[in-house]
Structure 1
Amino acid sequence: MTDINNLDFNLLVTLDTLLAERNVTHAAKRLNLSQPAISTRLTRLRELLGDPLLLPAQRGMIPTERALELQEPLHAALEGVRQVIAAGSPFDPAKVQATIAIAASDYVQYSILIPLAQALRTEAPGIIIAWRTIDTSLLDTQMAGGAVSFALTTPETAPDSLRMRKLYTENYVAIARADHPDIQGTLDLDTFCALDHVIISPQGGGFHGPADDALAVLGRERHIAISAPGFLVVPEIIARSNMIALVPSRVAQGRPGRVQILKPPLPVTGFDMALVWHDRTTTHPLYRWLRDRIAKIVAEAATNRAPAH
């Protein structure tokens, strides 16, 4: 039997984090500790629990069966302790020390992460943001284990087991470089179809999007010259070429003088964006404050957006 008198809270938090991250480097960053400190704690845990717990692998670490048995009840117990303490303490974001992992696409980095990071530097400087590329197939497990705190994704791609708050509806706009020889202020359908396009394909290599469905209804088509894996590089490509692109309106904002923001010459279906989280963080003061702060940032940004011409 393990003598629980020798188990301190910091060791348990370290084990919980290691089981979520399965990587000493990532765990050290989340806990704001050095890698040697994490390794020392893991050694103590192995001695106290009589099990290797995590074994070295080619990438990260592999938990033993004993570690897997401990993961869920340990995490639930620690969350219970955190909620009890938080419920009895006044919440002051300026005094919080925490690492918050947010999973989203690069598009959301531009539209939400930048203003959120700016707000946190002033209002909650002790909060560190760990930005992660989203994989919706892993979200449920990542959030249950604490590896991801929030996700920003479309409602239809979010796992049904997670909680959700719709933030906004996004629309597409067309962009062209500011001194484009064929476009000045407006974009007609013939020009739209005649020019080369850049398209976004998150999985890479895709050459079909919502605009192509809309064009097919009209018996028209466009020419795709580049399929890019992310949104953020596209305005830079457009600003340096005679190609055009359809991008979410929030990606096009904030680039005065570099690109024209134009109304598409045909209706293109947009999408909703939602904030997603696990039920275990619903009542926690920090997470509740962050959800409200993100929603406020989105609302403030919406009032400052310039319309397409």
Structure 2
Amino acid sequence: MNTLRNLDLNLLVTLNALLTEHNVTRAAERLHLSQPTVSVQLARLREVFGDPLFLPGPRGMRPTARADELREPLRHALAALEEVIAPADTFNPALATQHWNVAAFDYGALTILAPALAMLRAAAPATRMAIVQTLPSQVARKAEQGEIDLAFMTGAEAPLNLHRRTLFTERYVLVGRAGHPHLQNPLSLETFCQLEHVIVSPEGGGFHGVTDTVLAERGMTRQVSLSVPGFLLLCAVLKSSDLVAMAPWRLVSEDDALKVVEPPVEIPGFEMVMLWPERVHRDHAHKWLREQIAGSV
């Protein structure tokens, strides 16, 4: 406790910025301080912890083992302090001017965000939202570094170190263009495998999905002729060709230009989850945003 009494808590904010940026200049920009000021604060932090904390690295600074140990406890401590000093129930959406960065591929944007946008614009007209595409493997890092405030992913892809809320469970259906000659009658599994399929690969270039895993367990394979990066392109391809796809039901069920049928093999569905980092977990505006989106699904 005596150590805490003698500690300038602003030093902990600086340490958190340095742990995020690994660079004194960028940390200073994040904190709206001068580079010399941050350098002086780093020297004081080294005295407090009895450790150099950061060493020269090829791209700035690399944290010591002691600094890495401090990373997560420090984030939680600063979040708790923010909650202590934040005025209760101060968020008024009608007057809010927040800018939110939300990560979602086209499926999440269409099924989760699109239904919520009109309500969000009416309730919080001065806020802004940027919907961005980020590879699943980059979501956790970008969320912790402040580049993303909220993300929507499948539960299987979601990083474990973010807060999550399950929004709904989705199932797969077989889909092709309306009038597709092979989708008018119940399909055998053999015919299903002989059709030319399209697959969505968000990471790019993949030709194997959960359907292929299920078929392999039965000693069978299907013909995957095309890989696309998103569902909007998938639907456009299906409408203009005789290719078929296993697609999420919510995406295609109301499109009259597409024929939707049950596949001849049961394919496991997936959960769609909403993800956010610890740094905004207690923020009143962010809580409001999460509740509004979850309530619109």
Give me the TM-score of the superposition, normalised by structure 1: 0.68
Secondary structure of the residue that 2:34 maps to in structure 1? helix
The equivalent residue for 1:259 is 258
Aligned residue in 2 for 1:163: 163
Task: Give the conservation status (yes or no) of the 8 Å contact 2:100–2:130.
Answer: yes
Secondary structure of the 2:141 match is helix
SS at match of 1:264: coil
SS in 1 for 2:112: helix
> Residue 152 of structure 1 corresponds to which residue in structure 2?
152
User: Cα distance, 1:146 vs. partner?
Assistant: 2.0
TM-score, normalization: structure 2?
Answer: 0.71
Counterpart of 2:227 in structure 1 is 227
Partners of 2:247 and 2:147 in 1: how far apart?
Answer: 30
C-alpha RMSD of matched pairs (Å): 4.0
Answer yes or no: is the 8 Å Cα contact 1:86–1:285 preserved in 2. no
Matched with 2:52 is none
Distance 1:110 1:257 in 2: 17
User: Gaps (5+ residues) in structure 1?
Assistant: 1-12, 23-38, 52-60, 299-309
Q: Residue 73 and residue 222 in structure 1: after superposition, are their counterparts in 2 closer, same or farther (change >3 A)?
A: closer
> Cα distance, 1:270 vs. partner?
1.2
Shift of 1:62: 7.2
1:269 alignment partner in structure 2: 268
Cα deviation, residue 240, structure 1: 0.7
- Residue 175 of structure 2: aligned partner: 175
Do 1:75 and 1:145's aligned partners in 2 also have CA atoms closer than 8 Å?
no
Give, in angstroms, the shift of residue 109 of structure 1: 1.5
Match of residue 248 from structure 1: 248
| Match of residue 124 from structure 1 | 124
Note closer, same or farther for the CA distance 1:119–1:179 as it changes in structure 2 (3 Å cut): same
Counterpart-to-counterpart distance in 2, 1:208 and 1:260: 23
Which residue number corresponds to residue 101 of structure 2? 101
Q: Which residue is equivalent to 1:282? A: 281
Q: 2:34 aligns with which of 34, 40, 45?
A: 45
Aligned length, in residue pairs: 263
Q: Deviations over 1:133-168 (max 9, x none)?
A: 233444333323322111222334333322221111
**3-state SS of the aligned residue for 1:181?**
coil
CA 1:63/1:258 → structure 2, altered by over 3 Å: closer, same or farther?
A: farther
Matched position secondary structure for 1:225: strand
1:3-18 equivalence runs, <5 A: none
Task: Show the counterpart of 1:207.
Answer: 207
After superposition, the Cα gap between the structure-2 partners of 1:241 and 1:136, relative to the gap in structure 1 and judged at 3 Å, is closer
C-alpha distance 89-214 of structure 1, shift in aligned 2 (>3 A): closer
**Alignment partner, residue 46 of structure 2:** none
Q: Cα offset for 1:121?
A: 1.2
Q: Is the 8 A contact 2:165 2:275 kept in 1?
A: yes
Write the letter of the residue equivalent to 2:242. Answer: N
1:37-74 deviations in Å (ceiling 9; x for gaps)? xx9x97x73476579xxxxxxxxx97999xx99x9999
How far did residue 124 of structure 1 move? 1.5
For 2:283 and 2:106, how far apart are their aligned partners in 1?
27
Query: Offset of 1:179 from its aligned partner?
Result: 2.1
3-state SS of 2:231 partner: coil
Taking the aligned partners of 2:142 and 2:293, their CA distance within structure 1 comes to 21
Letter in 1 for 2:162: L
Contact 2:111 2:250 in 1 (8 A): yes
Are the equivalent residues in 2 in contact too, given 1:20–1:146 (CA < 8 A)? no
> How far off is 1:79 after superposition?
6.0
Contact 2:89 2:284 in 1 (8 A): no
The secondary structure found in structure 2 opposite 1:260 is: strand
Percent of residue pairs identical: 34
| 1:126–1:47 CA distance, 2 compared to 1 (3 A) | farther
